[in-house]
Amino acid sequence: QVKLEESGGGSVQAGGSLRISCAVFGSVFGSECIGWFRETPGKEREYVAVRYDGPGETWYADFVKGRSTISRDNAKKTLFLEISSLKHEDTAVYYCAAGFSGGQWYESGLYHYWGQGTQVTVSS
């Protein structure tokens, strides 16, 4: 059984930084494609950053490129996302995703496992 648990969300002022974590339980870590998505009311879930250690690829959405880092601790089976220079527009529920079934890595529908999400609120 696979379970993803996000943590580390909260409230932060614009311009600050935040690191959120995703603990992975079950057999979906390794070199698999795993990433972060976010969702705001009225908008579709969108990808933020995806890491695919098999081929050694990392992708960032344009809105976080240059101010975000996706990383992982393989020993602890934990995925991290750090975003700096936070903006009010970064306010969202952030989800960890795993169990990629192949295809376009930025498509949320291609990930089988999701965490419960962690709220990030950026005040301007």
pLDDT tens column, 40-91: 989 999 999 999 988 888 999 999 999 999 999 989 999 999 999 999 999 9
Strand 3-7's sheet: what is its strand order?
A: 3-7, 18-25, 78-83, 68-73
| Banded pLDDT at 16 (limits 50, 70, 90) | very high
CA angle, residues 65, 66, 67, in degrees to nearest 5: 95
Please tell me the predicted confidence (pLDDT) of residue 56.
Answer: 84
The radius of gyration of the chain's CA atoms, rounded to the nearest angstrom, is 13
Please tell me the predicted confidence (pLDDT) of residue 31.
Answer: 64
What average pLDDT does this structure show over 21-47?
A: 89
What is the C-alpha separation between 60 and 106, in angstroms, rounded?
A: 10
What are the phi and psi torsion angles at 120 (to 5°)? Answer: -120, 125
* Beta carbons within 10 angstroms of residue 51's beta carbon: 22
| Banded pLDDT at 30 (limits 50, 70, 90) | low
Unique residue bearing structure tokens 């936070």 = 86
Please tell me the predicted confidence (pLDDT) of residue 8.
Answer: 97
Please tell me the predicted confidence (pLDDT) of residue 65.
Answer: 97
